[in-house]
Structure 1
Amino acid sequence: VVVNVSEKYKDKMPNWFSILENNEDIRRAVTLDDGTSALFCHIELDLKRGAYAGNFIRGDWLENVGMEVPTTVDELYEVLVAFRDQDPNKNGQPDKIPWVEDKGFAAIGVLAGSWGLIYQDIQRDPNDPNKITYWPLVNDGANFTDFITTLNKWYKEKLLDQEFASQDDSQREAKILSHQGGFGFAYTVHYNTWSSTLKETVPEAKMVGLKPLVGIAGKPYGTNHAHVRPAAPNEGNCITVQAEKDGVIDACLKFIDYLYSEEGSTLINWGIEGVSYTVEPDGTKKWTDAITNDPEFRLQDKVFVYAIPTWGSWPKIMDYDAWASIELTTDEAKQAHENYWQADTGILVPPLLLSQQEGERYSQIMTDVNTALSENFVKFVMGTRPLSEISRLPQEIKDMGIEEAMEIYQRAYDRYMAK
């Protein structure tokens, strides 16, 4: 049994409750329907940090085929055709894979936003932001059908990696780093690591982070819920009633509240002043040479000796500047981050809390639905199940209980909005 700190101990956690009182979205995310505050998780005061994932394209390949950075699905198609038919990596070999993908379908997931869809997930309806739906059901399945039909066409034309359904992430990465792939998924950190590796053999290599593309949905919809989630209510820490019985409740409350203070936040994100970081005259923080110039460890590794700027599954305030100093160390990474941030958030779902009963039932339904959809998705794209049968899918997943799952999330969304 956990302690409801909002009832008995509000005065002992001034930092935590100040955050809740001054940030409506965070309060909605971390409190129960009755106002109970019992969970302490990482929170985001700057949602821009959530723009860490999207699709990339090889900028030098674009230059080599005389084309511009695509902004629409149609333009991407033309670029991929050029990558296939010309010699964008200038090695004279027929080894180009226009779009490199693996069985995680990450780039497919990002691209689905161009159709107003979120791959394998509950979402808001692009036609009604207060309505929860599921991606094969948007516009009575019309968007899903067009999306699958497009991917099937691109697969047949060898624009999409022919091994996308079987290879893992390491195999995909190997193709990218050997200059075979021109388009795919990338986290912002990849613009630091992959880019430097690519430049070792091709100095002019350039990774360009794409803004979400516009397709039939008419908007550059994003598919990463982190863009609208200021807290992670499904992970974190609670204080149990055992702390009261053992007489340590005050110490627990004081410690957790400290982590949400300015001093505590600085300690966990930056470490110790004068040792791991210094404060510049303008007030900004900077890592010391002990972090940036260690002869044995990279910056991304050495920093964890003193601080935890990029992780957050416990009580803490994520510090955007600390995170950016680790994740965005190149101009390419910074530009990709800015472009990823341009996503329209209209179909994303805020952090919702389900009751235990709701969560168990939802998971039960979605395990079956997502498994069936994943299997059929691959069959449709690869052509082993005829496209003429796509229209059957909505009823097939309705028979599995998808409408009940949507109702569960709709109730949770309505409760969230009413808080």
Structure 2
Amino acid sequence: MRRTRKSYAWLMVSLTFVTVLATACSDSPQHSVPDDNPAKPKLTYWAELNGNAGSVKPSFLEVPFFQEWQKRTGVQLKFIQPPTNQAKEAINVLLASGDLPDMMEYEWNQFPGGPVKAINDGYIIRLNELIDQYAPNLKKYLSEHPDVDKQIKTDDGSYYVFPFIRGDDQLRTYQGPIVRKDWLEELGLQTPTTIAEWHAVLQAFKEKKGVEAPLTFLGVPNTLFGIEGGGFVGAFGIKKGFYVDQGHVKFGAAEQGYKDFLTTFRQWYAEGLIDKNIATVDTKTMDANMISGRSGATIWNAGAGLGKWQPLVEDKDKKAMFEAAPYPVLKKGDRPKFSQRSYAYEGTGGVAISSKSKHAEEAAKLLDYGYSPEGHMLFNFGVEGISYKLVNGYPTYTDLILRNPDKLAPAQALAMYSRSSYFGPFVQDVRYMEQFYTLPQQKKAVQIWSDTDVDSNILPQIPKTELENAELSSIMNDVTTLVDEMSLKIILGVESPDTFDSYVSQLKALKIDRAIQIQQQALERDRKR
């Protein structure tokens, strides 16, 4: 793999997350409220600030939600904030330092070796006893939702985080293709549904409208990140990662369909239809592309995408209009096989308590607040009388959120007063979405994006043993590097699609078949539970 990584470096040299990580972490903002009660412990909390909140306020303690959370619980927090889009790199530096905060909000199910290893290595603690004694609200929820309870435990039955849980199936789909509807109408085109139709639309945007980067999507934190939910690549019958095909686990990037996808994107890139900065597009860049008209199509969220961009473009051009498009297929009339579809719990936003914490009891009580009736309202709707009002018992967002006087998009305003539009230690309420999606095209988008066969093909959230996790992580570390390197090389035209068979041979040498076997045996074990 030494030669592979070396050859990859030149392609990724412009990526913003390749910084001097130790310096970045030491320079990252750390803020705390005044200590007016020395007898009460001040807890430390490591987390990345959400992009919508960060676009308004640079630090946690300037965000009203985090001020209110501390006020209500009586717990003072010192936040440790890694640089934007560098959470993975920063957490590695933090863990290596040994100087751990009380709480760490991170995707612990993605930890190399899995959460069991994170526990056994002494980074985080097993939470079963703490939840039993000090987290009655979370304990009650899990006892009432055994299907969710199964998802948030390790294979040996250990709880490891206070989880973010999507409380309704309607909340599990929130992302998909988005296109400029007004441009389609201007050019006499229909909303694209097939790869061929998408090609024609992007060509028209380029040639007839002079659009610089017709299709843009996230390339950060890793190559092709924006299409990992199944956009475009799903038209070829596969996902980039693991999926289930008639009960059998497969790895999409090793399938023939992935070669066909890369060949298509190679052509589109050569024709100038895909953003030339494919490897470095982050959320801020994508926002700028879509708002400025540099791009006319992408894959992103109903809230942070449609809801954020529409009022901004409409303010400048009354005719400007975004709309959702179906996940593309190859043959007209076919039903999409894949789309973005989250689990009730998928790891994001879970908060672990570190093994170095001297205040585990206080931390557990603080984190349990989000699952209490009062905490549920704060995390989902904010402060009554400010960000919401009860109308016939229904928590209704105020104009501060939906028609913000400072011209903040609803996604930005909501991120100031709640956590409902992103993640955290609480159960997300479907009533948030019913109001947050204020635009008719947002509500329609969820219906369009949900109309797929993804539930039959998604790989369930399956706990694995420590040994399985360790072996899988070791394999996939090298596999992911190779996949990302090869994908980018073929799309950019550096390598020919004819090298695909050789690349698959390399994947097999890196034991991708063993990784598939691990996933398969975990799936079969889970089915017997």
For residues 162 and 237 of structure 1, what CA distance do their matches in structure 2 show?
A: 37
Name the aligned partner's letter for residue 234 of structure 2: G
Q: 2:307 aligns with which of 192, 215, 218?
A: 192
Q: Which residue of 1 aligns with 2:177?
A: 55
Q: Which residue of 2 aligns with 1:146?
A: 260
Alignment coverage as a number of residue pairs: 396
Name the aligned partner's letter for residue 111 of structure 1: F
For residues 66 and 195 of structure 1, what CA distance do their matches in structure 2 show?
A: 21
Deviations 1:118-174 (A, max 9, x none): 22x22223xx2x22221133xxx3212221222222233333334434555544443
Q: Which residue of 1 aligns with 2:338?
A: 222
Q: 2:235 aligns with which of 114, 117, 127?
A: 114
TM-superposed CA distance for 1:320, in Å, is 1.9
Contact 2:244-2:457 within 8 A present in 1 as well: yes
For residues 103 and 275 of structure 1, what CA distance do their matches in structure 2 show?
A: 37
Q: 2:513 aligns with which of 394, 403, 417?
A: 403
Name the aligned partner's letter for residue 307 of structure 1: S
Contact 1:131-1:410 within 8 A present in 2 as well: yes
Q: 1:266 aligns with which of 350, 355, 377?
A: 377
Check if 1:176 corresponds to 2:303.
Answer: no
For residues 387 and 211 of structure 2, what CA distance do their matches in structure 1 show?
A: 46
Provide the TM-score with structure 1 as the length reference.
0.80
Q: 1:339 aligns with which of 442, 448, 466?
A: 448
Q: Structure 1, unaligned stretches of length 5 or more?
A: none
For residues 272 and 239 of structure 1, what CA distance do their matches in structure 2 show?
A: 27
Q: Which residue of 1 aligns with 2:142?
A: 20
For residues 197 and 47 of structure 1, what CA distance do their matches in structure 2 show?
A: 30
For residues 405 and 483 of structure 2, what CA distance do their matches in structure 1 show?
A: 49
Higher relative contact order (CA 8 A, sep 6+): 1
TM-superposed CA distance for 1:210, in Å, is 1.4
Check if 1:68 corresponds to 2:190.
Answer: yes
The correspondence of residues 184-333 of structure 1 with structure 2, limited to 5 A, is 184-188=298-302, 189-215=304-330, 218-224=334-340, 227-233=341-347, 236-237=350-351, 259-281=370-392, 283-288=393-398, 295-296=405-406, 298=408, 299-303=410-414, 306-314=417-425, 316-326=426-436, 328-333=437-442
Change (3 A) 1:202 1:352: same
Contact 2:337-2:452 within 8 A present in 1 as well: yes
Name the aligned partner's letter for residue 123 of structure 1: Y
Q: 2:253 aligns with which of 115, 136, 147?
A: 136
Q: Which residue of 1 aligns with 2:83?
A: none
Q: Which moved more, 1:387-396 or 1:358-367?
A: 358-367
Contact 1:233-1:353 within 8 A present in 2 as well: no
For residues 102 and 267 of structure 1, what CA distance do their matches in structure 2 show?
A: 31
Check if 1:371 corresponds to 2:473.
Answer: no
| SS of 1:213 mapped into structure 2 | coil
For residues 285 and 438 of structure 2, what CA distance do their matches in structure 1 show?
A: 25
Change (3 A) 1:242 1:64: closer
Change (3 A) 1:312 1:164: closer
Q: Root-mean-square deviation (CA), in Å?
A: 3.4
Contact 2:307-2:411 within 8 A present in 1 as well: no
Change (3 A) 1:262 1:371: same
TM-superposed CA distance for 1:216, in Å, is 6.4
Deviations 1:45-84 (A, max 9, x none): 2132232222211111111121211122222223223333
Contact 2:219-2:226 within 8 A present in 1 as well: no
Check if 1:392 corresponds to 2:502.
Answer: yes
| SS of 1:70 mapped into structure 2 | coil
Provide the TM-score with structure 2 as the length reference.
0.65
For residues 215 and 387 of structure 2, what CA distance do their matches in structure 1 show?
A: 41
Deviations 1:91-126 (A, max 9, x none): xxx44543234634345442112122222x22223x
Q: Structure 2, unaligned stretches of length 5 or more?
A: 1-124
Could you tell me the percent identity over the aligned residues?
24
Contact 2:162-2:368 within 8 A present in 1 as well: no
| SS of 1:98 mapped into structure 2 | coil
